[in-house]
Structure 1
Amino acid sequence: MTLLRSISLIGAPTDIGAGARGASMGPEAMRVAGIGEALRARGCEVQDRGNLAGPSNPWQPPVDGYRHLAEVVAWNQAVHEAVYTELRDGRLPILLGGDHCLGLGSISAVARHCREAGKKLRILWLDAHADFNTSELTPSGNIHGMPVACLCGFGPKELVEIGGQVPAINPKWIRQIGIRSVDEGEKRFVHEQDLEVFDMRYIDEMGMRHAMELALATLDANTHLHVSFDVDFLDPDIAPGVGTTIPGGPTYREAQLCMEMIADTGRMASLDVMELNPALDVRNKTALLAVDLIESLFGKSTLMRK
C-alpha cells in the first residue's frame, strides 16, 4: 500500500539553454498525455501550479562561452523558488521542463531544503549526456550541457550561487545513469571530479538491475532521493521527441526496471522531467511514454510487490 502523496506539477516552458527550439512546449505535452490524471489514478493528491514565467528565448550566439546567460539565470531563479516552496510545504514537486539547464534551479532548491531539514541527498541523473561542461569545454555554449558542473561549483557566479551555497552539491551525491554522449574535454573533467557514472557500456555489461542496485545503495530513511529524468535518456527508437537524440539508450523494459527499482525504495521526494520536445515527436508518443514511466516511479507494476 503506497502512502497518499501530495504532488505539485510545475511547468517551466522554456528552451533557453538548448540547441534546438521546442522544449518550451514540453509541459503542455505532458499535460495532454495525462500526467495529472495518471498520478491521481495512483492515489496521489495532485495540484497543477501552472507554468512559471520567464524571459523569451532571444536565440543569440554564445557570449564568453555561454548562450543566453542572463535569461538562463532568470529561469533558474524562478524554478528554484517554485521547487523550494513546494518542498517547504511538504509536497513532492514535479518540474515539467523545459530544457535540462533548469535542473540547476531545481536541484539547488532540493539541496537547500535538505540542508535546512538535516537530510542527506542522493541525485539520480538519467540522461544520455553527463551535462558536465564548462564555458571552456563546451563546443556550443548551450547551458543545458552545464547544469551538473554548475551544481558542483564550476560555472558563472550568477548560476553557481542560485542555491545560496557554493557548491550547491557534492559530486559524490550524484549517480549518472544511461550516459552515452560526453564531449572530449568533458570526459576528463568527469574523471577529475570522480562522478559516479553508469554509462551504457556498464549497463550493457552488467545489466540495468546491477547498475540501479549500486546507484540506490546506502539510501536510508534520512535520504531525500531526487530524480532528474532527461527524456533523451531513453533510446530514440521509443522516444523520438527530444532535441539531442543519441542512439543506444535504455530499452522500454530497461527503463521500466529503472523506474520500478526507484519506486521500490520509497525515497523519491522530487522529480524533474526534462527535454521533452513535442516539435520533434510523433503524435505525442514520447510524452505518453514519459507519463507511463512516471507512473512506474509512483508504484505502478505488473503485480503487487510483496
Structure 2
Amino acid sequence: MGATPRTVTIVGAPLDLGQGRRGVDMGPSAIRYAGLEERLTSFGCQVVDRGNLATREPEALAIGDERARFLSEILDACARLAELVADVVADGSLPLVLGGDHSIALGTLAGLRQAAGEPGGVIWIDAHGDLNTPETSPSGNVHGMPLAAALGLAGAAFGHPGLDLPAVDPRRVVLLGVRSLDPHERSLIRETGIRAITMTEIDRIGIERAVLEAIDRASGPGFVHVSLDLDALDPEVAPGVGTPVKGGLTYREAHLACEDLAESGLVGSLELVEVNPILDRENGSAAIAVELAASALGQSIL
C-alpha cells in the first residue's frame, strides 16, 4: 500500500459557471458535511482545510461568448486556484481540491505544473472526455473543455497570465470510464495519443487491469494527478451529478480503482468534482466522494 500522506490540504472551489445546472457550487460543503476530514484523520492523515475559493454567481454576470460561457470569470477563478495549489505543493502537502464543476481542473493542473516546473500526467476518471473547445462544444459549457485547455489545445481564448499551459503531456493523459464523447473529442484522442479506456473496454478487461495501465501511462516526471468526476460512477450509485450517463462504474469498481491508485504511491494530488446536492438523495453522492477519497489516499480494509 502507498504511504499515507503526511498532510492533506483541502481546497474548496465552489465554481458552477462552467455548466448549465445550478447546484455544484454546494459540492464542497456537501463533501465536507459528509465527514471528509474525520474520515481522512481516522487512518492517519493530518488534514488542513484552506476553506473555499471565492467565486462569482452567474446571476450577477454577463454570459459573454455563447461558445464558452462565463470564460473570463472561470479563467480568473482557475488562476487563483492554481496559485493556491502551487502553494500547497510548495508546503509539502497533498492538494485535495473539491468542486464545483470540472472546469476547476484547469486551475488545479496549472498549479501543479507551476509547482513542478514541467507538465505532468493525469488520470481523468469521468463519463466524458472534457476535450471540447469553444469552436466544437455543442453547449458552450466550459466544464466540457478543461482537459483540452490543460493540453494547450482549446485556443487563444484560454490564454491567461495566471495559467501556465500546457500543463499536461498528452502521452500521459488517461481517460478512465469514458462513455460519452463528441465527434471532435474522438478525433482529438486519436490525433494526440491520449489513452481512452472506455467502459466497454473495462467490461472486457476488468477495472484492475485498466487502472494499472492508467497508472503506467500517467507516471513520469513532474506530477501525477487524479481528477475524479462523480459522474464516472453509474447514476444508480451516484445520482447527485449534473450530467449523468448510464452504464458507469459500480461502487466496488470505483473503490478498487482508488485502492489501486493508493497502492501505486504515485498520486500526488486529487480532486473530486460535479457533486450536486440538489440532485442527490440524502447527500449519498457526497458520502461516496468521501469514501473514494479515503481509498485513493490510503485507507484500507486491513
Moved over 3 A (4+): 1-4, 58-62, 160-166, 218-223
Deviation per residue, 1:175-231 (Å, 9 max, x gap) = 110000111222222222221111111101111111111111267796632111111
Asked if residue 277 in structure 1 is aligned to residue 276 in structure 2, the reply is: yes
Quick one: distance in 2 between partners of 1:144 and 1:53?
Answer: 18
Contact 2:122–2:168 (Cα < 8 Å) also in 1: no
Asked if residue 65 in structure 1 is aligned to residue 79 in structure 2, the reply is: no
How far off its partner does 1:301 sit? Answer: 2.2
Percent of paired sites with the same residue: 40
Residue 250 (structure 1) aligns with: 249
Between 1:188-197 and 1:266-275, the stretch displaced more is 188-197
Residue 91 (structure 1) aligns with: 93
Residue 216 (structure 1) aligns with: 215
Deviation per residue, 1:244-276 (Å, 9 max, x gap) = 000000101111110010000112111111111
Residue 238 (structure 1) aligns with: 237
Between 1:85-94 and 1:1-10, the stretch displaced more is 1-10
Specify whether residues 62 and 197 from structure 1 end up closer, same or farther in structure 2 by C-alpha distance, changes over 3 A only.
farther
Quick one: distance in 2 between partners of 1:172 and 1:83?
Answer: 23
Residue 101 (structure 1) aligns with: 103
Between 1:215-224 and 1:76-85, the stretch displaced more is 215-224
Matched letter for residue 96 of structure 2: I
Contact 2:34–2:287 (Cα < 8 Å) also in 1: yes
* 1:16-165 matched pairs, under 5 angstroms: 16-58=17-59, 63=65, 65-115=67-117, 121-157=120-156, 159-161=158-160, 165=164
Specify whether residues 70 and 201 from structure 1 end up closer, same or farther in structure 2 by C-alpha distance, changes over 3 A only.
same
Q: TM-score, normalised by structure 2?
A: 0.93
Quick one: distance in 2 between partners of 1:26 and 1:219?
Answer: 27
Matched letter for residue 290 of structure 2: V
Contact 1:125–1:175 (Cα < 8 Å) also in 2: yes
Between 1:11-20 and 1:28-37, the stretch displaced more is 11-20
Contact 1:73–1:158 (Cα < 8 Å) also in 2: no
Specify whether residues 76 and 222 from structure 1 end up closer, same or farther in structure 2 by C-alpha distance, changes over 3 A only.
closer
Specify whether residues 70 and 12 from structure 1 end up closer, same or farther in structure 2 by C-alpha distance, changes over 3 A only.
same
Residue 11 (structure 1) aligns with: 12
Between 1:161-170 and 1:294-303, the stretch displaced more is 161-170
Specify whether residues 162 and 144 from structure 1 end up closer, same or farther in structure 2 by C-alpha distance, changes over 3 A only.
farther
How far off its partner does 1:60 sit? Answer: 5.6
How far off its partner does 1:157 sit? Answer: 3.2
Unaligned stretches of 5+ residues in structure 2: none
Contact 1:15–1:23 (Cα < 8 Å) also in 2: yes
Secondary structure class of the residue paired with 1:175:
strand
Quick one: distance in 1 between partners of 2:123 and 2:220?
Answer: 17
Contact 1:128–1:232 (Cα < 8 Å) also in 2: yes
Quick one: distance in 2 between partners of 1:70 and 1:218?
Answer: 33
Secondary structure class of the residue paired with 1:48:
strand
How far off its partner does 1:62 sit? Answer: 6.0
Contact 2:16–2:101 (Cα < 8 Å) also in 1: yes
Matched letter for residue 159 of structure 1: F
How far off its partner does 1:122 sit? Answer: 2.4
Between 1:149-158 and 1:53-62, the stretch displaced more is 53-62
Quick one: distance in 1 between partners of 2:221 and 2:183?
Answer: 37
Matched letter for residue 98 of structure 1: G
Specify whether residues 218 and 186 from structure 1 end up closer, same or farther in structure 2 by C-alpha distance, changes over 3 A only.
closer
Secondary structure class of the residue paired with 1:123:
strand
Between 1:242-251 and 1:6-15, the stretch displaced more is 6-15
User: Number of paired residues?
Assistant: 300
Quick one: distance in 1 between partners of 2:15 and 2:77?
Answer: 8
Contact 1:54–1:74 (Cα < 8 Å) also in 2: no
Quick one: distance in 1 between partners of 2:127 and 2:161?
Answer: 25
Secondary structure class of the residue paired with 1:259:
helix
The CA RMSD measured in Å over matched residues stands at 2.0
Quick one: distance in 2 between partners of 1:6 and 1:32?
Answer: 20
Deviation per residue, 1:279-302 (Å, 9 max, x gap) = 100000000111111111122222
Quick one: distance in 1 between partners of 2:64 and 2:222?
Answer: 38
Between 1:39-48 and 1:217-226, the stretch displaced more is 217-226
Q: TM-score, normalised by structure 1?
A: 0.92
Contact 1:160–1:167 (Cα < 8 Å) also in 2: no
Deviation per residue, 1:44-78 (Å, 9 max, x gap) = 11011111112222376561511011111121111
Quick one: distance in 1 between partners of 2:149 and 2:104?
Answer: 11
